[in-house]
Amino acid sequence: MITLHWLYALAGAMFAVVALLSALDKANGKRLGNAAFWGLMALSLLGGDMIGNFGNGLLVLGLAGLAGFGFIGRSHPPTTSVEEREAWSGKLGNKLFLPALIIPVTALIGTLAYNYTPVGSLGWIEPKRETYVFLALGVLLALATIFMWLRPPALAPAQEGRRLLDAIGWAAVLPQMLAALGVLFAAAGVGEIIGTVTRSVIPEGSVFLTILVFAVGMALFTIIMGNAFAAFPVMAAAIGVPLLIQGYGGDPAVVGAVGMLAGFCGTLMTPMAANFNIVPAALLELKDQYGVIRAQVGTALPLLLVNVLILYLAAFR
Amino acid sequence: MNYWPLLGIALVVIGFALKFNPMLVVTVAAIVTGLLGGMDFVEVISTFGKAFNDNRIIAIVWIVLPVIGLLERHGLQQRAATLIRSLKNASTGKLLILYLLYRQVTAAIGLHSTAGHPQTVRPLVAPMALAAAERQHGKLDEATEEKVKAYSAATDNVGLFFGEDIFFAIGSIVLIQQTLATYGYNLAPLELALWAIPSAIAAFVIHGTRLVLFDRRLAK
């Protein structure tokens, strides 16, 4: 049976190659930091089950330390020049979009086929994880297609992947850290505490008010922190899971998906999300650094209301 | 009841607000929350490590990067730019609505990196929107010019935020899935992506309507 461990091995191999190439990249002053950071990610994916819980904890402390104290930096792996890219783009036309399309199409068709044809009953894949398995298959198919079509150098996928991964930096690991933080919150009983407090404030049985507090809370926490990812484990532990899902029997898929999107409405309204709201104002040389946010509030507020309604109508069908 | 574990939430909020490195903020908040929840230090580190290890699936989404990088190597961003440039005869509102659609659709199939503020908004969308506004309105005063530029950037953000969650292999979807799995709700990623669609449509309708209204004001 194909399990998640196959995928961990694939991703782990990628991080290991990136770590190795980082270590050899003499042009990058922080090459050893980058190598250590991606190397720890490789170790986690390839050997996380063998180093014990405390070992994993030390690994996470290592990642946080390398990222938090500035030991990792952006690299400039060999790639094509802007002129070469223009030439390729002119030559290849819109067909360039097609290899990228292979990934979602493979994942979608694979998942549907696995769930709605007899193939699924053969039990080849770990249950509920088939989409990720087909995602990985799609990636491999896309890589094979690009190699047959464009014949790039053998190391190109690794170097181009490293270029993008280093551009993202520690932010690539943050969602996983936040999920782990959510587990800590749950273990320490944070959800129970806020759930109890909220229950004593919101009238018993008022589903709509609870949804309102959940969605607006997601948006507010996101506005303060600038990051809906960070707000989600908090609000899930506090209201989403104990009240909406367990208390009132809401559909967890709707509560999760739409709750996150309510947070995204907050992202549109906060200077804390500098990359999206402040940096573009500077890029476009706006006189008012909050100009982009001002242009977004009129979309964000009605959209937040719509998300409240979607939660109310869809999660409690 | 012991209310002290709430301090962990406060630490996250304060840490992010004061712009400390988020990786450090999260780590410190996790350790403090665990300690206040009655665990000893080794237990906290072990619990945090186990949770990180249990959530490795979130790291899997990055295996798409070599594919995207290879396509960029062969001019993917330049191709996206050409496609956007082909909208040049539209009015400001219409141009931005088409860009909103482009941004939502490409983000929904995992191509969110083909566009963005440095890649497309600054070099293409904003100048094209300004040129279209001048055709509609004549010479623009400074306030209107600012507004056209701000709407260009806003359209990019709305399109990205309310398109990307339809692509199931993205950090936010896996984060939702794993957070709910902590409480025993094992969801398939496609279920979550599916429930991102109604909000995506609403975002298109709401922001699109505002762009139509903006267009009318410009035409006056």
pLDDT tens digits, one per residue of A12-35? 999 999 999 999 999 999 999 999
Q: Say if residue B1's pLDDT is above 80.
A: no
Average pLDDT over residues B97-101: 96
CA distance B64 to A143: 10
Flag whether B187 is in a domain: no
CA distance A158 to A19: 10
Flag whether B130 is in a domain: yes
CA distance A74 to A163: 8
Instruction: Domain ranges for chain A, please list them.
Output: 4-68, 82-168, 174-315
Q: What is the pLDDT of residues A81-106, one digit of tens each?
A: 999 999 999 999 999 989 988 988 89
Mean pLDDT score across all residues of chain A? 92
- Asked if A229's CB is within 8 angstroms of B63's CB, the reply is no
Q: Which residue has the tokens 């190597």?
A: B73
Distances (CA, A) of B95 to B81, B85, B208: 14, 10, 11
Shared domain for B147 and B77, answered yes or no, is yes
Question: Chain B residue closest to A3 (CA)?
Answer: B57
Q: Say if residue B4's pLDDT is above 90.
A: no
- Collapse the DSSP code of B173 into the 3-class scheme (helix H, G, I; strand E, B; otherwise coil) and give the result: helix
Shared domain for B145 and B128, answered yes or no, is yes
- Asked if B190's CB is within 8 angstroms of A131's CB, the reply is yes
Q: Kindly provide the b/e burial profile for residues A275-294, where b requires at least 16 CB atoms within 10 angstroms of the residue's own CB.
A: ebbbbbbebbebeeeebbbb
CA distance A171 to A27: 22
In this predicted model, which residue has the larger pLDDT, B220 or B43?
B43
pLDDT classification of A79: cutoffs 50, 70, 90: very high
CA distance B97 to B102: 9
Tell which A residues from 25 to 44 touch B, by Cβ distance under 8 Å.
41, 44
Shared domain for B120 and B72, answered yes or no, is yes
Domain of residue B16: give its range.
1-54
Flag whether B26 is in a domain: yes
Interchain contact A181–B (C-beta under 8 A): yes
Shared domain for B213 and B119, answered yes or no, is yes
Q: Say if residue B16's pLDDT is above 90.
A: no
Closest-CA distance of chain B to residue A305, Å: 10
Mean pLDDT score across all residues of chain B? 91
Average pLDDT over residues B129-154: 93
- The tokens describing A269, both together, are 């309204």
**Of B153, B91, B159, B77, nearest to B121 (Cα)?**
B153
Q: How many residues does chain B have?
A: 220
pLDDT at B41: 95
pLDDT classification of A256: cutoffs 50, 70, 90: very high
- Asked if B156's CB is within 8 angstroms of A48's CB, the reply is no
Q: Which residue has the tokens 């587990």?
A: A183
Flag whether B183 is in a domain: no
- Collapse the DSSP code of B111 into the 3-class scheme (helix H, G, I; strand E, B; otherwise coil) and give the result: coil
Closest-CA distance of chain A to residue B116, Å: 9
Question: Chain B residue closest to A193 (CA)?
Answer: B3
C-beta of residue A8 within 8 angstroms of C-beta of residue A45? yes
Number of folded domains that form chain B: 2
Please list every residue in chain A whose beta carbon sits closer than 8 Å to the beta carbon of residue B147.
Answer: 291, 295
pLDDT at B168: 80
Average pLDDT over residues B124-135: 92
Q: Say if residue B2's pLDDT is above 90.
A: no
Burial class of residue B29 in the structure, from the number of CB atoms within 10 Å of its CB (0-12 exposed, 13-18 middle, 19+ buried): buried
pTM greater than 0.90? no
Q: What is the pLDDT of residues A185-243, one digit of tens each?
A: 888 888 778 778 877 888 877 899 999 999 999 999 899 878 898 889 889 988 999 89
Closest-CA distance of chain A to residue B91, Å: 18
The domain boundary, picked from B34, B54, B74, lies at B54
Please list every residue in chain A whose beta carbon sits closer than 8 Å to the beta carbon of residue B171.
Answer: 175, 229
Average pLDDT over residues A165-190: 88
Closest-CA distance of chain A to residue B218, Å: 15
Shared domain for B67 and B47, answered yes or no, is no
Shared domain for B21 and B118, answered yes or no, is no
Average pLDDT over residues B123-140: 90
C-beta of residue A48 within 8 angstroms of C-beta of residue A56? yes
Shared domain for B83 and B160, answered yes or no, is yes
- Asked if B188's CB is within 8 angstroms of A131's CB, the reply is yes
Shared domain for B28 and B123, answered yes or no, is no
Interchain contact A244–B (C-beta under 8 A): no
